[in-house]
Copies of this chain bind each other. A is one copy, B any other.
């Protein structure tokens, strides 16, 4: 009785605007799998992150990376060498302009796009890809405006194309084990959660324009890789610029957009010192370096507090400008106990000694998620401790079946919205600001189907 959602929405889309390219091509296919039994994948943005995705695709036997859009010659060249390494057929390159991805989407027969470009291009590319009827994987970032978030939602609803928001930390081994424990009610009903992005990015935000990390104090046009585009966000913006690694895993645990939703947030920012100091203290920098006069707007520590409709409190940490160890700062706390990643410990009432921490390791092993049990060997060598394998596997398998992604356009919009909302709150002296309900009320009916088993 249930009409195929994709087909239905597709028809609705055809009845609407005629500006969508590629819909005819899409309509000719019955499934996402192209004729040779493999997905045709396009990479939009082939920097280091895109190259990691290319490598994971080429390791699989169900993906052909047939086209790349990028304008950076060195990154294209590095990408091409991956195809040589894997003895794979060279992809078609679209590099004439930053808008060459539009030509790619028009000319190529693509089943899956993976967007790993600078943040400024994510939504433009995702919208074009969805308009072209292509299953769309979009790398994570923070949003620029609520309007941008709505555009993604509106486009996905209008075209019926799926947006898979590529949040890899949802697949981190300890995170999946803790999700497993959450679902077995080992922490009871959840009460309070924390996470975030606490990563000393100073050596990423600045370099010498030739090598990526720790090599200098240049950025923007003079920078290389992420320093070319990422750093300027720290010059102009003060907010949680990169919320998804923290909020994504938390959202799975408390069913955000699936029986629960984010209601409002407040953000607070500290002073900004770290990036300026880095320029002053670096051997390539100093007081007289031109970048020493730049004022960075991004506070070194931004803290965001979110209230959910189910009355949990969520704290997100953003801390990327200061010397510190990497830590996403997770805390998952419920009626019966809590886990924290910074001390790799937990406490569970009735199991742990009263008022005492226990090392989490034995629990994380015991409750290892079925996905990790099944695919551990496949994940060896994949990025970020293996979790990138699981992300790619999930993306590809969902695409092959044209299934709704576990982190879909509503999640993308919600998580992306944290950035402009936190900017607004900070600019208003931590005034609370409300989340839009991007699901238009359907969060009360939607179900969480992320990682329910070992399928993908």
Contacts and interface: CB of A to CB of B under 8 A. Distances in A.
Interface in A403-439: 429-432
A312 B432 contact: no
A326 interface: yes
Given A270-B311, A340-B342, A430 B305 contact: yes
Contacts of A81: none
A6 interface: no
How many copies are assembled? 2
Contacts of A324: 333, 337-338, 347, 355
B337 A323 contact: yes
Interface stretch (A24-32, A154-162, A271-279, A366-374): A271-279
Given A273-B191, A432-B430, A336 B313 contact: no
A264 interface: yes
A270 B303 contact: no
A271 B188 CA distance: 13
B432 A431 contact: yes
Contacts of A348: 323
Contact of A432 (B266, B271, B277, B325): B266
Interface string A103-136: 0000000000000000000000000000000000
Contacts of A271: 189, 191, 310-312
A346 to B, nearest CB: 10
Contacts of A337: 322-324
A430 B262 CA distance: 14
28 contacts: A188-B273, A188-B277, A191-B270, A191-B273, A191-B274, A191-B300, A192-B300, A192-B319, A266-B305, A269-B313, A270-B312, A273-B335, A277-B335, A303-B305, A303-B313, A305-B305, A315-B315, A322-B335, A323-B337, A323-B347, A323-B348, A324-B333, A324-B337, A324-B355, A325-B347, A325-B356, A343-B344, A431-B432
